[in-house]
């Protein structure tokens, strides 16, 4: 975990840059990303799937410099909103390498996608197909369409991020997909090209992927046997990242794909997010103080809060804390908390850590995925900035807004 972040002369650095230098220049809290780690994570996917279209899931981390690094390495983009499509385009992704997923696309978003030739629109329901057909006919566009199947497979992930069972809101029920595909094929305004599946996130076990992909393959082969055009299979994302307990490599899924999909039968695409960016990022934070309550808990109070990294509060996620310059001394149990005014602003409880003094720096590990992208200004805390490191170089790739900027975004109602 965090191998791009290692101790040099007793202090944690990001690649060749000491984290203390970044903290001094930018302040804390701040997300720090390793470009080398982004590239090596992407290249693990490339090696596992040499022929596939690897569409990085922008929602995991949509920072423009992160996107540009991955697109330069050969990634495409999986997007779920007009905003994400615009980010992908701004960072240099060609429309034909963009997949537009999502189960609640608005008419405006569909119209925007229809203006981008070559983009693949993954349709998730019958009403969406009807709206897309009407909008496409009006725009005189013939979009490439894939139908997202709900394979009714339990992914074993946290319930809030599992998406592949019949009761989930995602995808077309397995037994209705063929009929919907036939309808799309008969529609002059649409160009169906394939099927898609995505069963959830933080999945370490290959079994649910296998179950879902077998169902997808069966459906695709049946539709092809009917003579329908179907060349693409989008196998989704969801591979687990390493939060301290280890994680499989993309090769696990690559080997599975080799077993299930004979070369040349389908053009495969994937939508990995977390497994590419999670361990390429950390949240760098400063200890505000240590509050030892008599015999009670010893609170390690950080200057990072749940508004900067929501995952522990929302999913009980674990992001192990490491001191940037570990102090010698006896380890003790700590509760790690942020400054936000609710008890859910807690990163971990009862963790054994070396001593800390106010002002010490620490990192919350493996925070590159769904960290900055889910951050907010709750408690009127400035949006957390982001830094990209590449070897000895580093750059501030999203500055912290000033309080003046934050206030100026809100015009007062004219009658006040």
Contact residues for ligand LLP, defined by CB under 6 A:
57, 60, 78, 101, 161, 198, 201-202, 236-239, 271-275, 311, 315, 370
Q: Is the distance from CB of 282 to CB of 368 less than 8 angstroms?
A: yes
Q: Is the distance from CB of 234 to CB of 269 less than 8 angstroms?
A: yes
DSSP one-letter code for 368: S
How near is the Cβ of 202 to ligand LLP at its closest, in Å?
6
Q: Is the distance from CB of 31 to CB of 306 less than 8 angstroms?
A: no
Nearest to 174 by CA among 196, 206, 143: 196
Q: How far, in Å, are 219, 254, 341 from residue 212 at the CA level?
A: 11, 15, 42
- The torsion region of residue 294 among left (phi > 0), alpha (psi -120 to 50) and beta comes to left
Phi/psi at 214 (5° precision): -65, -40
How near is the Cβ of 206 to ligand LLP at its closest, in Å?
14
Pick 198 or 346: Cβ nearer ligand LLP: 198
How near is the Cβ of 97 to ligand LLP at its closest, in Å?
15
Q: Is the distance from CB of 206 to CB of 227 less than 8 angstroms?
A: no
Number of residues assigned to the chain: 416
Phi/psi at 290 (5° precision): -110, 125
How near is the Cβ of 161 to ligand LLP at its closest, in Å?
5
Pick 13 or 29: Cβ nearer ligand LLP: 29
Q: How far, in Å, are 52, 54, 143, 194 from residue 211 at the CA level?
A: 20, 21, 29, 18
In our burial notation (b when 16+ CB lie closer than 10 A, e otherwise), range 168-193 reads bebbbebeebbebbebbbebebbbbb
How near is the Cβ of 402 to ligand LLP at its closest, in Å?
28
* Residue bearing tokens 């999909």: 261
Q: Got the DSSP string for 129-153?
A: HHHHHHHHHHHT---EEEEEEE---
Pick 29 or 236: Cβ nearer ligand LLP: 236
Pick 236 or 338: Cβ nearer ligand LLP: 236
Q: How far apart are CA 341 and CA 276, in angstroms?
A: 32
Nearest to 111 by CA among 103, 102, 121: 121
Active-site option among 341, 380, 413, 416: 341
Nearest to 83 by CA among 410, 404, 373: 373
Prior bond to 29 cis, omega within 30?
yes
Please confirm, yes or no, whether 93 is among the known catalytic residues: no
- Give ∠ CA 187-192-198 in degrees, rounded to 5: 135
Pick 81 or 275: Cβ nearer ligand LLP: 275
Catalytic residues: 341
């Amino acid at each position: 975990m965090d191998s791009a972040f290692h101790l040099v002369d007793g202090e944690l650095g990001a690649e060749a840059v000491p984290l203390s230098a970044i903290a001094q220049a930018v302040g804390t809290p701040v997300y720090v990303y390793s470009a080398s780690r982004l590239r090596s994570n992407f290249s693990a996917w490339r090696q596992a799937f040499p022929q596939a279209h690897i569409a990085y899931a922008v929602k995991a981390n949509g920072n423009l410099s992160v996107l540009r690094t991955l697109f330069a390495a050969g990634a495409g983009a999986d997007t779920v909103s007009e905003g994400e499509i615009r980010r992908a385009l701004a960072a240099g992704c060609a429309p034909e390498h963009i997949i537009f997923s999502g189960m609640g696309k608005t008419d405006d978003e569909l119209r925007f996608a229809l203006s981008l030739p070559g983009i693949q629109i993954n349709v998730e329901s019958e009403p969406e197909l009807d709206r897309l057909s009407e909008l496409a006919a009006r725009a005189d566009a013939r979009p490439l369409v894939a139908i997202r199947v709900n394979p009714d497979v339990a992914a074993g992930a946290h319930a809030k991020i599992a998406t592949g069972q019949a009761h989930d809101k995602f995808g077309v029920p397995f037994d209705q997909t063929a009929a919907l595909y036939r309808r799309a094929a008969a529609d002059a305004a649409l160009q169906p090209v394939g099927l898609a599946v995505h069963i959830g996130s933080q999945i370490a076990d290959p079994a649910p992927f296998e179950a879902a992909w077998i169902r997808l393959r069966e459906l695709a082969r049946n539709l092809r046997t009917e003579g329908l055009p179907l060349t693409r299979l989008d196998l989704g994302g969801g591979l687990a990242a390493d939060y301290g307990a280890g994680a499989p490599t993309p090769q696990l899924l690559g080997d599975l794909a080799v077993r299930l999909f004979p070369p040349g039968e389908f053009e495969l695409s994937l939508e990995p997010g977390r497994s590419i960016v999670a361990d390429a990022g950390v949240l760098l934070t400063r200890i505000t103080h240590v509050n030892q309550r008599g015999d009670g808990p010893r609170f390690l109070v950080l200057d990072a809060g749940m508004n900067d990294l929501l995952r522990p509060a929302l999913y009980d996620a674990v992001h192990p804390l490491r001191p940037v310059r570990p102090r010698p001394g006896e380890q003790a149990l700590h509760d790690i908390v942020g400054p936000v005014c609710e008890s859910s602003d807690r990163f971990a409880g009862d963790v054994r850590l070396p001593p800390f003094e106010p002002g010490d720096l620490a990192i919350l590990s493996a925070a590159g995925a769904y960290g900055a992208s889910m951050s907010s200004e709750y408690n009127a805390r400035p949006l957390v900035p982001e830094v990209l490191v590449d070897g000895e170089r580093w750059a501030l790739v999203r500055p912290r807004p000033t309080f003046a900027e934050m206030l100026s975004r809100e015009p007062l109602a004219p009658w006040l």
